[in-house]
Amino acid sequence: MENNTPKKPAIPRTAMPCQPPEERRHNFKEVALGYTKEMAAAEASRCMQCKKPLCVGGCPVEVPIRDFIREVQQGNLEEAYRIIKGTNSLPAVCGRVCPQERQCESKCVLGKKGEPVAIGRLERFVADSYIASSACEQVTGDNACAVPVKGKKVACIGSGPSSLTCAGVCAAAGIKVDVFEALHEPGGVLIYGIPAFRLPKNVVAIEINGLRQTGVDFHLNHVGGKTVDVAELAQEYDAVFIGVGAGLPMFLGVPGENLVGVFSANEYLTRVNLGRAYDFPNYDTPAYPGKNVTVFGAGNVAMDAARTALRMGAENVHVVYRRTRAEMPARLEEVEHAEEEGVQFAMLSAPLRFNGDENMLLKSVTLQKMELGEPDASGRRRPLPIAGSEYEMDTDLAIVALGTRSNPVLLDATPALKLNKRGYIEVNEETGETSMPGVFAGGDIVTGSATVILAMGAGRRAGQAIVKRILG
Amino acid sequence: MPTPILSKESLIPGKTSKLVLEAPQIAKKAQPGHFVILRMSEKGERIPLTIADADPEKGTITIVYLVMGKSTALLESLNTGDTILDLCGPLGRATHIEKRGTVICVGGGTGIAAMHHIAKGHSRIGNKVVGVIGARSKDLLLFEKELKSFVDELLISTDDGSYGHKGLVTELLKDRLEKDKDVFEVVAVGPVPMMAAVAETTKPFGVRTTVSLNSIMVDGIGMCGACRVSVGGETKFACVDGPEFDGHQVDFAELRRRLGAFREQETLSLEQWRCSCHGK
Ligand SMILES: Cc1cc2nc3c(=O)[nH]c(=O)nc-3n(C[C@H](O)[C@H](O)[C@H](O)COP(=O)(O)OP(=O)(O)OC[C@H]3O[C@@H](n4cnc5c(N)ncnc54)[C@H](O)[C@@H]3O)c2cc1C
Ligand SMILES: Cc1cc2nc3c(=O)[nH]c(=O)nc-3n(C[C@H](O)[C@H](O)[C@H](O)COP(=O)(O)OP(=O)(O)OC[C@H]3O[C@@H](n4cnc5c(N)ncnc54)[C@H](O)[C@@H]3O)c2cc1C
Ligand code: SF4
Ligand code: FES
C-alpha cells in the first residue's frame, strides 16, 4: 500500500463540458460533450501510475487502466485504444454508461483524499478520438485479422452488448456469426432503452458496422423461440449464444395501474428511442403526452424516463422513490444531470393507487410517506410506511421503472434450458454454457437486470469458450 | 430482408384487402391464433395483424386488414410486387385446439379473416365447426367462400338484412346455443363490443368462450407492457400471454379505453399523411 499514497498536491478533477441545462432539456443531443485534447491531457496527468493499480480491480473486465492512461499522458492515443480494446470491445459505450463511481473510480487512490481520476471520461475520449483503420481493428483493436475458418459458424440470439461482444470475439477468430434479433434495429438496450442524449445512436452504429464488415450477419425481426428455435439452431450451428436481455417490465401492483396514462419505462423509452417519437409525426410512433409526469423508481431507467419526459415537453417531472438520494441505484452523473435539468425528486414516498376520471384517464396518484428503518438483505435501509401520511399528487403521465423479470418468449419455447430460482438461465460461470450442450448464455437473461459492462464481460467469456471449443 | 407481397385482393374497395406474403420461415411455424408485427417504412410504426392463413409448402402467409389510420392506409397503398420493410413472427400463443366435438366460431368485420385460421385448425383436427359471421351489409362480408370450403355450417347475419339473418351475430349464436347442447367452445374474433356481446351471450350457457384481443402493441414480445389487459382481475400481456383469453374473464371496458389512448396523435398522423399525399 505504501507506494499507493498520493505525494503530489491534488489537482482538481477536470470537469466534463456539457450542454447547458436550459438548452439541453429541450433537445435529444448528447449532454456530455466529451473532453478536448487539452482536458484529456490534464486529467491523465493526475494519474500517479501506481505500481499496484487498484482501479483495475474495480473494472469488471479488468481494462489495464493505468497503462492506457500512461499512453494518453504520452499522447499515444492509438496505443491507448489498443490497450482498452484488448479487454473491452465497446469502450465508446462503456466510457459513457458504466457506473464508474462504483467500479474503477471507486478504487482509485486519489479518491481517498480527493477526487479519483476520471477514468470513464478518459476511456470515452480515447474511444472517440481514435478512428479505427479497418473493421477488423474496430472489432478487436488489432489489425491482424483472422483468416476465415471454413465451415464453422455461431448463432447469437439478441443483439445487446452481450451478444455483440460474443459475436466480436468469434468473428475475430475467423468464425462466421449470424445474429438473430427480434426488433427491427440491432443494439438491444443501447438502442431502444438508453436515450440518445446519453448515448448517441451513431456510437452504437459504428460498432455494429464494424461487426458487419468482419462477417457478422444481422437477421432482424427474428425471434428466438418463435421464428427460430434454439434446439434447431444448435443443430445447424457449431454453438449458440443466448443474449436476449431481461425484458418483461414489472409494475407496481397498485390499483389503477392500467389507467390510460400509466406506462412502463420500457414502453415509453422504446416509443421515443426505437420509434423516434421525439420526431412525431414525421415518424409514425407516438408517445403519450404528459404535463405533470411522475416516474417511479430510482435507477438509470427512471432517470432516463424522467429526462426524456422533460425533453418531450413535460412541465413538471417528479421522480418518486421510497428511499432517499443516497440509496438511488442510478449512476451519480445521471442523477446530477437530471437535477440540473429540473427533474424534481419526491423522496421517501411510495404510490398507493392511481386515480382516474370517468374515461379511465390518469389524473393523480396517491402517495404515502416513508421512513427508513433497519437495513434489509440488500444492505440498504428498509423503507417503512408512516401511518396517516397519505397525500395526492397531480399526474397525467406516470412512468413505472421498477426493473424487469425474465422474458418468457424464448424460455417457454426451450424447455431443455435449466433456469435458476429467479427464472433466469443457469450457466457454468466460467464458460457461460447452459444445460444444453453447445448453447451458451450471458447478460441480463442470466444475471437479471445488470449493467452493460457485465453483459459484455459475459459475452466475452462465452465467446472465448466457444472459440476454444470450435477451434481447439 | 423486406417481405414481398405476392398478391393483393381488394375485399372492400379502399378499406380492406387480403395480402399474400412470401414469408417461408414464418409460414413454417405459424399456427392458428398467431399474429405478426409489421412496419411499412423507415419511419413507420410497428403494428400487429393476425395471420389469417398460412401455407407452409408455398412458404406464404395471408393477412387481412381494415384501414384504420396511417399505418394501415400505408399498407393499402402497396400493391402486388411491392415489399413490406419489416415482418416479425409468428407471435403470441397458438390457439388451444383439441378434438372435442362442436365448436362455434364467430367472426365480425375484419375479425372474420382472423377467425378463419382458427376455424380451419378446429376443422383439421376433426371438430364440427359452425361458423357465424356478420357485417353491416352484404358487401362488407368477408371470407364467406373461404369458410364455406371447410366449415360444417355457416350462419350469416347483416345489420341491414341485405344478406342472411337481419340482425346481430349474437342473435344467431343464442339461437344456436339453445338448440345445440353439444357445443364445447365458442370462439369470437371481431370488434371489442362484438366480443363483449358474445361473452355476455354465452355466459348463461356456461360454455367456454375464447376471444382474441387486439390491444395496442409495440414490440409484441413481452418487453413493454403496452398490450396489458385485465383478465379475471389479473394483468396479462396480450402479446405473450394471449392474444386469446377467456371471454368471461376479460375487462372489455378497460380494453376499449386503452385502445383510445393515442387517438389524438393517430388522427394527426393520418391527416398529415393524407395532406402530403394529395399535395403530390
Ligand atoms: C433505460 C435503460 C438504461 C440503462 N442504463 C444503463 C447505464 O447507464 N449503464 C449500464 O451499465 N447499464 C444500463 N442499463 C442496463 C444495461 O443496458 C443492460 O444491463 C444491458 O444492456 C444488458 O445487455 P444484454 O446483452 O443482456 O441484453 P439487452 O441489451 O437487453 O439486449 C437484448 C436484445 O435481445 C433482443 N431479444 C429479446 N428477446 C429476444 C428473442 N426471443 N429473440 C431474439 N432477440 C430477442 C432484444 O430485442 C434486445 O435487442 C440500462 C438499461 C435500461 C433499460
Ligand atoms: C394481436 C392483434 C391482431 C390484430 N389483427 C388484426 C387484423 O388481422 N386485421 C386488422 O385489420 N387489424 C388487426 N389488429 C388491429 C390493428 O393492429 C390496428 O388496427 C392497427 O394497428 C391500426 O394502425 P393504424 O396506424 O392504421 O391506425 P391508428 O390510427 O394508428 O389507430 C387506429 C386504432 O387502432 C389501434 N391501434 C393503433 N396502434 C396500434 C398498435 N400499435 N397495436 C395495436 N392496435 C393499435 C387503436 O385502437 C387505434 O385507436 C390486430 C391487433 C392485435 C393486437
Ligand atoms: S470499462 Fe467501465 S469500469 Fe472498466 S475502466 Fe472503463 S469505465 Fe471503468
Ligand atoms: S406489446 Fe410490448 S409487451 Fe406486449
Residue B280: the pLDDT is: 47
Least confident of A59-63, A292-296, B31-35, B57-61: A59-63
d(CA B234, CA B102) in angstroms, rounded, equals: 30
3-state helix, strand, coil in chain B (%, to 5): 30, 30, 35
Q: Model confidence over A248-280: pLDDT tens digits?
A: 999 999 999 999 999 999 999 999 999 999 999
On whether both A370 and A300 belong to a single domain, the answer is yes
Residue A10 lies in a domain: no
- Domain of A309, CATH number, reads 3.50.50.60
Say what the pLDDT of residue A217 is.
96
Q: What does the mean pLDDT of chain A come to?
A: 92
Last residue of a domain, one of A371, A404, A437: A404
Q: Are residues A373 and A419 in the same domain?
A: no
For the cut 90, the answer to whether the pLDDT of residue B221 exceeds it is yes
| Percent of chain A predicted with pLDDT > 90 | 82
pLDDT at B278: 61
In a domain, A138, yes or no: no
Q: How many A from CA of A59 to the centre of ligand 3?
A: 5
Phi, psi angle pair for A222, to nearest 5° = -115, 115
The conformation of residue A361, written as its DSSP 8-state character, comes to B
Residues A411 and A446 in one domain: yes
A112 and A75 in one domain? yes
My answer on whether A278 and A394 are in the same domain is yes
Residues A265 and A397 in one domain: yes
Q: How many CA atoms lie within 13 A of B178 on its CB side?
A: 7
Q: How confident is the model at residue A20 (pLDDT cuts 50, 70, 90)?
A: very high
At which of A404, A421, A437 does a domain end?
A404
**In this complex, is the C-beta atom of A391 within 8 Å of any C-beta atom belonging to chain B?**
no
Which residues constitute the domain of residue A367? 248-404
Looking at the structure, tell me whether residues A28 and A88 fall in a common domain: yes
B17 lines ligand 2 (CB under 6 A): no
Residues A255 and A148 in one domain: no
Pair A398, A253 in one domain: yes
Contact list in A for residue B229 (CB cut-off 8 A) is 258
A125 three-state secondary structure: helix
Residue ending a domain, choose from A354, A388, A404: A404
Best residue among A102, A197, A300, A460 to mutate for probing ligand 1, ranked by most atoms within 8 Å of CB: A300
Q: What is the mean pLDDT of residues B100-105?
A: 94
Ligand 4 centre from B241 Cα, in Å? 10
Pocket-testing residue among A189, A263, A308, A331, ligand 1, by greatest number of atoms within 8 A of Cβ: A189
Residue A6 lies inside a defined structural domain of this protein: no
- Asked if pLDDT for residue A338 goes beyond 90, the answer is yes
A160-210 residue pLDDT tens: 999 999 999 999 899 999 999 999 999 999 999 999 999 999 999 988 988
Rg (CA), chain B: 18
Whether A149 and A202 share a structural domain:
yes
| A253 & A384 share domain | yes
Complex ipTM over 0.85: yes
Q: Are residues A149 and A223 in the same domain?
A: yes
Contact A304, A198 (CB under 8 A): yes
Number of domains in chain A: 3
Residue pLDDT, tens place only, A364-387 = 999 999 999 988 887 888 899 999
Of all protein residues, whose CA lies closest to atom 19 belonging to ligand 1?
Answer: A451
Considering the domain boundaries, does residue A100 fall inside one? Answer: yes
Give residue A9's pLDDT band: very low, low, confident or very high (50, 70, 90): low
Mean pLDDT, residues A331-345? 93
Q: Which residues are CB-neighbours of A250 under 8 A, at least 6 positions away?
A: A400, A402, A403, A404, A405
The candidate with the shortest Cα–Cα distance to A398, out of A274, A255, A265, is A265
Is A148 a member of any domain?
yes
Say what the pTM is: 0.94
Confidence of residue A134 (pLDDT cuts 50, 70, 90): confident
